[in-house]
Amino acid sequence: MTAITSLLVANHKRGFGSLWYMVEVRWLISSHGNTVQLFMMQFMLLFSRQGKLRLQKWYLPLSDKEKKKITRELVQTILARKPKMCSFLEWRDLKIVYKRYASLYFCCAIENQDNELITLEIIHRYVELLDKYFGSVCELDIIFNFEKAYFILDEFLLGGEAQETSKKNVLKAIEQADLLQEDAKDAETPRSVLEEIGLT
């Protein structure tokens, strides 16, 4: 129940019995009963200090136009914040949790009832995973291996929720996939010289 519903129940216990009040209580509880409280991340953005987007993961369906608008506005808002400010802010009707690691800002949008501190640690865990995988990860790694960053993220968070919080297990899953890749590589068809040096 949200805070307001629990307040209502508490007040009801205290015996406020006017007609208006009873009707409002019933209405509120029934209307709240129909809405599912979403506890989830809505999106995660990684961007540089120049505002270049390095990764964007959207956990709810939005049009491309909306995504671009949100990105633009949020990036501006975050970049305007000073270093000593707290890691949370309210933006539109969401909570934003962000942290800067070297030249990259990691920014998550969560629902109002979500836990901010644990989201900060979700960000940290993701950075740890990237770090372990790439070996002392830096922004360039994420630029050149963007698809890997998405794969790692999917092993850790799915649908905006943490699915595996053991670092070992996540990395194991990714390494297994890499091994499959290695096997497949041996069986590959020969490539042209141009392809080898990357000109096609």
Partner 1 sequence: MPAVSKGDGMRGLAVFISDIRNCKSKEAEIKRINKELANIRSKFKGDKALDGYSKKKYVCKLLFIFLLGHDIDFGHMEAVNLLSSNKYTEKQIGYLFISVLVNSNSELIRLINNAIKNDLSSRNPTFMCLALHCIANVGSREMAEAFASEIPRILVAGDTMDSVKQSAALCLLRLYKTSPDLVLMGEWTSRVVHLLNDQHMGVVTAAISLITCLSQKNPDEFKTCVSLAVSRLSRIVSSASTDLQDYTYYFVPAPWLSCKLLRLLQCYPPPEDGAVKGRLVECLETILNKAQEPPKSKKVQHSNAKNAILFEAISLIIHYDSEPNLLVRACNQLGQFLQHRETNLRYLALESMCTLASSEFSHEAVKTHIETVINALKTERDVSVRQRAADLLYAMCDRSNSKQIVAEMLSYLETADYSIREEMVLKVAILAEKYAVDYSWYVDTILNLIRIAGDYVSEEVWYRVIQIVINRDDVQGYAAKTVFEALQAPACHENMVKVGGYILGEFGNLIAGDPRSNPLVQFNLLHSKFHLCSVPTRALLLSAYIKFINLFPETKATIQEVLRCDSQIRNSDVELQQRAVEYLKLSSIASTDVLATVLEEMPPFPERESSILAKLKKKKGPGAVSVAELEDGKRESGELNGGGERGQDAAAMAASNASTPSPSADLLGIRSSVPVSTTPASAGSLLVDVFSEAGPAAPSGAVNDDGFLRDLEQPTETSDPLLVEGSGDSE
Cα–Cα separations (whole angstroms), residue 189 to 144, 170, 185, 194, 195: 24, 31, 9, 14, 12
Check binding of 18 to partner 1 (CB under 8 A): yes
Check binding of 62 to partner 1 (CB under 8 A): no
DSSP labels, 35-53: SPPP-SEEEEEEEETT--E
Instruction: State how beta strands 88-91 and 53-58 pair.
Output: unpaired
Phi (first) and psi of residue 94, to 5 degrees = -120, 165
Could you tell me the smallest distance in angstroms from the CB atom of residue 119 to partner 1? 8
Q: Which two tokens stand for residue 158?
A: 């799915």
Could you tell me the smallest distance in angstroms from the CB atom of residue 29 to partner 1? 11
- Exactly one of 15, 186, 188, 193 binds partner 1 (CB under 8 A); that residue is 188
Check binding of 21 to partner 1 (CB under 8 A): yes
Check binding of 10 to partner 1 (CB under 8 A): yes
User: Which x/- pattern over 65-104 shows residues binding partner 1 (rule: CB under 8 A)?
Assistant: ---x----x-xxx-xx--xxxxxxxx-xx------xxxxx
Could you tell me the smallest distance in angstroms from the CB atom of residue 154 to partner 1? 5
- Which of 87, 45, 50 lies closest to 69, judged by CA? 45
Could you tell me the smallest distance in angstroms from the CB atom of residue 66 to partner 1? 13
Phi (first) and psi of residue 93, to 5 degrees = -110, 25
SS3 55: strand
Could you tell me the smallest distance in angstroms from the CB atom of residue 175 to partner 1? 10
Check binding of 20 to partner 1 (CB under 8 A): yes
Could you tell me the smallest distance in angstroms from the CB atom of residue 106 to partner 1? 9
- Exactly one of 15, 43, 109, 118 binds partner 1 (CB under 8 A); that residue is 118
According to CB under 8 A, which residues from 23 to 52 bind partner 1?
23-25, 27-28, 31, 36-40, 48-52
Distance, CA of 27 to CA of 15 (rounded, Å): 18
Q: Which two tokens stand for residue 168?
A: 């070992």
Distance, CA of 96 to CA of 45 (rounded, Å): 11
Check binding of 154 to partner 1 (CB under 8 A): yes
Closest CB to partner 1 among residues 104, 109: 104
- Exactly one of 94, 107, 110, 143 binds partner 1 (CB under 8 A); that residue is 143
Q: Which two tokens stand for residue 123?
A: 């960000």
